[in-house]
Amino acid sequence: MLPFRSQVAERIARHAGLSKEEIEPLLEIPPDPALGHFALPCFRLAKQLKKAPQAIAQELAAALRAEQLVEKAEAAGAYLNLTLRLAALNSTILSAALAEDFGRAIQRKRILVEYMNANPNKPLHIGQARNVCIGDSLVRLYRFLGNHVHAVNYGDDSGVNIGYNVVGHLHYQVPEEPPSGEKFDHYCGRVYTEMRQKEEDDPRFKALRVDVSRKIEAGGNPVAQFQRRYTERCALAQLESCWRMRAYFDLVNWETDILHLQFFEHGISRLKNTQHVHAEQGGQHDGCLVLDLSELEGFSGLKTQAAVLIKSDGTATYAAKDMVYAMWKLGILGKDFYYAPLAEQPNGRWLWTTLSSPSEMPRAPDFGNYDLSIAVIDKRQSHEQNVVKAGLKALGFTGEREYVHLPYGVVYLTPRTLEHFGFVLSEEEKREERLPFASRKGWFITIDDTMEQLKRKAYAESQARNADRGEAWLQETAELLAVGALRFFLTKLDRNKDLTFDIDQALDLEGETGPYVQYTHARSCAILRKAEEQGIALPSCTEERAATLADERERAVMVQLSAFPNAVERAVRGMEPDVLCSYLLELAQRFNTFYNALPVLQGDSREGRLLLVMAVRRVLATGLDLLGIQAPERM
């Protein structure tokens, strides 16, 4: 927030005969920057001071005019509006905004952000892209604040899904290599669909699949080895889509490693010793190991007051596996994986994989033992995630460490989006406002296809404006604009709200979009470039120069600049990267208004305005980077 807040509160408090602590929380930023830097609504003081609020505002205004810090003090009805001396205020804001550490903090937590978590047997769709945007932005935000963060993708490679493809390749002569050089995850998706059909047609299929699943879960055999190699390849193809969106990971945790290392047996034996877990005899859960929820908070009124951990056939439920996995995350399991490097990502950061046996590989980063473990999973999983938390609680886990399920709204598709990608809909479906992803019907809008369309559009736009630029530059620019458009589109909406994906909206490059913010950044760069061409040196920040920024449009930008640390803080506190989108749009809008009204390079205020442009450029670039979006100098 604005600097000087507490000084202002202190001065007002002295004149009002109250304490600083009583005044400070009441201070506001006026809705219109022209009104001043701070406002104090005096309604609440009326009772305490036994005066009319309007009178209080007027008396305080008169008294505060004598203050050194204050340029202007006025009463507007019951509001006291204060304008501070610009030299001091502006130079403080500008030098802060121009500094390397603007908005940063010194937090030192160990944090795990687990996201993506797609089944590694098909390409990622744009619903999963929302997950990726939220997850990666959080990783960037936490790191920005100084935390030690690991980004993890959980690979569910033991489910039935995987079995279909493996059976196809091992028993039905489906070639492992994509025939026409198709991207591997897209190929896997097609094979999967074909094998689902094969199971319907061929009575031998199911037995083969059950056998394959058993071997995969047991491990240490050729089928399991084939599966790992195959699944890894598919996951890497999926990760390519993430990398393209500039989302990067540190580790892939494979479910089969959890199985082979017997994490589950180890964790569940500890759960068995708690008073809330018992073997059920008779009733609907006969022969199961269950967690009794009736005495745990948050489950009142449910039909079933118990969660099954181990089924009567001896296998584990998802909730139970998740519980044990959560124990590893928080460092209370007492077991660890083995690790090996898997791939070097485009940003130079190494991606690691878990293993179930020791390797000769170099020492892995210090995975595990997190203070804060965040799992980005859509909100439909809330109940199960509550069961996981209940399990941790039953274990007596109430330490400083925290397990968080970060829910987000479901992504739907508009009918015309499906038609745009060539799917044929029934008349009834066409009339719906939104449709769910339905893999059974093959409705599947992938990140890769959406990115291609975006890139093509951005390319055309950019080419029209930069005819003299080379092909490589155009490609690069179109790519970063496509990423900007997609990530901003998927991030800007309130995390809790359902999102209806419409291709025409997503393809929009005007209005409240990533490219709008990117454009504003390019504009600020253009001014600084022009200054350089004209031999104008970039100024350093002095009070004298800062004091010239007195126009209301300049001040509107200043106020927004000063709010950046607060926007970062709110985005992290609520785990809502969308807050940053709103902030950046507001900053860009205010800057563009300033840009249109006031020339920078001509006139007396050149040095001050250049400082403003420099600061805006920096904050836009920093903010966009926190959303995984590049800030181009030209576009």
Partner RNA sequence: GCCCCCGUAGUCUAGCCUGGACAGGAUACGGGCCUCCGGAGCCUGGGACCGGGGUUCGAAUCCCCGCGGGGGCGCCA
Among positions 420-479, residues that touch RNA (CB under 7 A) are 436, 458, 461-462, 465, 477
Query: In the set 118, 308, 375, 395, which binds RNA (CB under 7 A)?
Result: 308
In the complex, least distance from residue 581 CB atom to RNA, rounded to whole angstroms? 8
- Measured CA distances, 277 to 56, 274, 313, 410 (Å): 63, 6, 18, 33
Q: What SS3 class is residue 146?
A: coil
Cα dihedral 556, 561, 564, 565 sign: negative
**Within 76-115, which residues bind RNA (CB under 7 A)?**
76-79, 81
Tokens representing 385 are: 């995630």
Query: In the set 21, 28, 101, 452, which binds RNA (CB under 7 A)?
Result: 28
Alpha carbons 87 and 92: distance in angstroms, whole number: 8
Q: How many residues does the chain have?
A: 635
Query: In the set 123, 155, 515, 577, which binds RNA (CB under 7 A)?
Result: 515
**Within 205-234, which residues bind RNA (CB under 7 A)?**
none
**Within 548-587, which residues bind RNA (CB under 7 A)?**
570, 574, 578-579, 582, 585
Q: What SS3 class is residue 121?
A: coil
Should residue 179 be labelled a site residue for RNA when binding is judged by CB under 7 A?
A: no
In the complex, least distance from residue 34 CB atom to RNA, rounded to whole angstroms? 9
Q: Residues 440, 442, 447, 452: what is their CA dihedral angle, to the nearest 10 degrees?
A: 180
Selection from 357, 183, 361 nearest residue 256 by Cα: 357
Count of H-run helices and E-run strands, the chain: 25, 15
In the complex, least distance from residue 463 CB atom to RNA, rounded to whole angstroms? 9
In the complex, least distance from residue 530 CB atom to RNA, rounded to whole angstroms? 4
Alpha carbons 9 and 52: distance in angstroms, whole number: 20
**Within 490-509, which residues bind RNA (CB under 7 A)?**
493-494, 496-500, 505, 508-509
Burial bucket for residue 301 (CB in 10 Å: 0-12, 13-18, 19+): exposed
Query: In the set 369, 439, 453, 589, which binds RNA (CB under 7 A)?
Result: 589
In the complex, least distance from residue 76 CB atom to RNA, rounded to whole angstroms? 4
Query: Please, are residues 513 and 609 in contact by the beta-carbon 8 Å criterion?
Result: no
**Within 331-390, which residues bind RNA (CB under 7 A)?**
379-384
The DSSP code sequence of 268-333 is HHHHHTSTTEEE--SSTTTT-EEEE-TTSTT-TT-S--EEEEE-TTSPBPHHHHHHHHHHHHTT-S
- Which CB atom, from 78 or from 134, has the smaller least distance to RNA? 78
**Within 251-290, which residues bind RNA (CB under 7 A)?**
284-288
- Which CB atom, from 77 or from 396, has the smaller least distance to RNA? 77
Query: In the set 229, 272, 416, 530, which binds RNA (CB under 7 A)?
Result: 530
In the complex, least distance from residue 405 CB atom to RNA, rounded to whole angstroms? 11
88-121: buried (b, 16+ CB within 10 Å) or exposed (e) per residue?
A: bbbbbbbbbbbeeebbeeeeeebbbbbbbbbbbb
- Which CB atom, from 183 or from 393, has the smaller least distance to RNA? 393
The DSSP code sequence of 83-115 is EE-HHHHHHHHHHHHHSTTTT------EEEEE-
Tokens representing 248 are: 């990067």
Query: In the set 181, 203, 222, 301, which binds RNA (CB under 7 A)?
Result: 301
- Which CB atom, from 327 or from 588, has the smaller least distance to RNA? 588
Query: Please, are residues 387 and 297 in contact by the beta-carbon 8 Å criterion?
Result: no
Cα dihedral 57, 60, 13, 46 sign: negative
- Which CB atom, from 256 or from 345, has the smaller least distance to RNA? 256
- Which CB atom, from 14 or from 311, has the smaller least distance to RNA? 311
- Which CB atom, from 7 or from 593, has the smaller least distance to RNA? 593
Binding-residue total with RNA (CB under 7 A)? 93
Should residue 409 be labelled a site residue for RNA when binding is judged by CB under 7 A?
A: yes
**Within 315-334, which residues bind RNA (CB under 7 A)?**
315, 317-319
Of 196-204, 439-447, 510-518, 622-630, which part binds RNA (CB under 7 A)?
510-518
Query: In the set 311, 393, 441, 469, which binds RNA (CB under 7 A)?
Result: 311
- Which CB atom, from 220 or from 574, has the smaller least distance to RNA? 574
- Which CB atom, from 288 or from 351, has the smaller least distance to RNA? 288
Q: Residues 374, 375, 379, 384: what is their CA dihedral angle, to the nearest 10 degrees?
A: -110
Should residue 601 be labelled a site residue for RNA when binding is judged by CB under 7 A?
A: yes
**Within 153-172, which residues bind RNA (CB under 7 A)?**
156, 159-161
In the complex, least distance from residue 126 CB atom to RNA, rounded to whole angstroms? 15
- Which CB atom, from 351 or from 549, has the smaller least distance to RNA? 549
Pairing of strands 372-376, 110-114: parallel
In the complex, least distance from residue 466 CB atom to RNA, rounded to whole angstroms? 7
> From the centroid of its chain, how far is CA 176?
35
Pairing of strands 251-254, 499-501: unpaired
Should residue 486 be labelled a site residue for RNA when binding is judged by CB under 7 A?
A: no
Query: In the set 97, 258, 481, 559, which binds RNA (CB under 7 A)?
Result: 481
Query: Please, are residues 417 and 436 in contact by the beta-carbon 8 Å criterion?
Result: no
Of 131-139, 173-181, 230-238, 517-525, which part binds RNA (CB under 7 A)?
517-525
- Which CB atom, from 148 or from 634, has the smaller least distance to RNA? 634
Should residue 39 be labelled a site residue for RNA when binding is judged by CB under 7 A?
A: yes
In the complex, least distance from residue 499 CB atom to RNA, rounded to whole angstroms? 6
In the complex, least distance from residue 527 CB atom to RNA, rounded to whole angstroms? 4
Should residue 592 be labelled a site residue for RNA when binding is judged by CB under 7 A?
A: yes
- Which CB atom, from 155 or from 367, has the smaller least distance to RNA? 155
Tokens representing 404 are: 């968080």
Alpha carbons 474 and 622: distance in angstroms, whole number: 23
